[in-house]
Amino acid sequence: MSTVALDPSRATGPAPAVRHKATTPGRRLLHVFLVVVAAAWLFPVLWALYNSFRDYHYTALHGYASFGGFTVGNFTNAWKQGDFTKHFLNSAMITIPAVFLTLLLSSMVAFVVARFSYRFNLALLGMFTAANLLPPQALLIPIYRMFRAVPVPAWINDSGTLLNSLWGLIAINTAFQTGFCAFVLSNYMKTIPMELYEAADVDGASVLRQWWQLTLPLCRPPLAALATLEVTWIYNEFFWATVLLQSGDKFPITSSLNNLQGQFFTDFNLLSAGSIIVALPTLIVFFLLQRQFVSGLTMGSTKG
C-alpha cells in the first residue's frame, strides 16, 4: 500500500506575499472622477426612491430636505389614479409580441447574411439597419398616412385601419428594431465555425433545421442581451404611441405618469412612487437575464 508524503511547508507555511501596485496620482484622480460620476447618476434615482415613501403633507410642512413622514400610501394612490392595471396590460400586449417578433425576424435575417454568401448581403443588412439611422420624426407623416390608409379586418381593429391599433404599434416597433438586432446577431453568427454547418449538411439537416436547432441555441447570449435591451426600449417607447394611438384606454404604461400630474398642482412624492412602479418591470427583466446580458455584451472582447 503506497503512502503519500505531505510537505509541511506547503500545508502550514506562510502565504506568499501579495504584491500591490503603487497607486499613481492619475489613478487616484480616475477613482475620484468615477465616484463623482456614479454619485451624480445615483442621486436622482435614490432621491426619487426616498421621496416616494414620504407623505406630501409632511414634506410640504418640513421641506424635502427633512427626514420623516414615511408611508407606502403613495404607491397605492399612484396605482389607482394612474390606472396602472389597464396600462400595464397594454404595455405587456405591445412589448412581449414586439420583442418576440423582433428577435425571430432578426435572427432569420442574420442567419441568411452570415450563413450564405450573396452579392447583396451587405445591401440587405444596410437596408434593415437604415431604419435605426433615421430620426422617427422624419417618418412621422408618411407612417401616419400609411396606417390610416391600410385596411385591416374588424377583429384586428374596430376602425378598419391600423391607426389606433395595438397591432400597428407592435408592427412599427418590430420594424424599427429588427435592423439593429440583425446587425448584432449577424456579427455573432459569423464567428460560428462553418464546420458545424458542413457536418449538418452531411447529416442531411435542412436549412430551417440548421437555423432552429443549431444556430439559435448557440446564439443564446446575444439573444438574451438583445431581449433585455429591446424590452427596455419598447417598454419605454412613447413617441409612436402618442402618434398612432387615439384612445386613452389603449395607451401604454408610460402615459400613466402623465395622469399623475395636475394642471395647477403636482404631488412629486406621488409621481416618484409612480415612476418607481413603472421602472420595476425593466429592472426585473434585467436581473433575470443579467448573466446572459453581461456575457452577451462581452462576447468577442477577447478575440483578436
- Closest to 124 measured CA to CA, from 137, 100, 99, 106: 106
End-to-end CA distance of the chain: 51
Q: Could you say which residues of the chain have pLDDT below 50?
A: 1-11, 303-304
What pLDDT shows up at residue 272? 92
What pLDDT shows up at residue 1? 41
What pLDDT shows up at residue 250? 87
What pLDDT shows up at residue 235? 93
What pLDDT shows up at residue 97? 95
What pLDDT shows up at residue 116? 85
- Closest to 58 measured CA to CA, from 48, 69, 66, 67: 69
The pair phi, psi for residue 14, each rounded to 5°, is: -65, 145
Per-residue pLDDT tens for 130-160?
Answer: 777 778 888 889 999 999 898 888 888 887 8
Q: How many CB atoms lie within 10 A of CB 34?
A: 10
Total-model pTM: 0.80
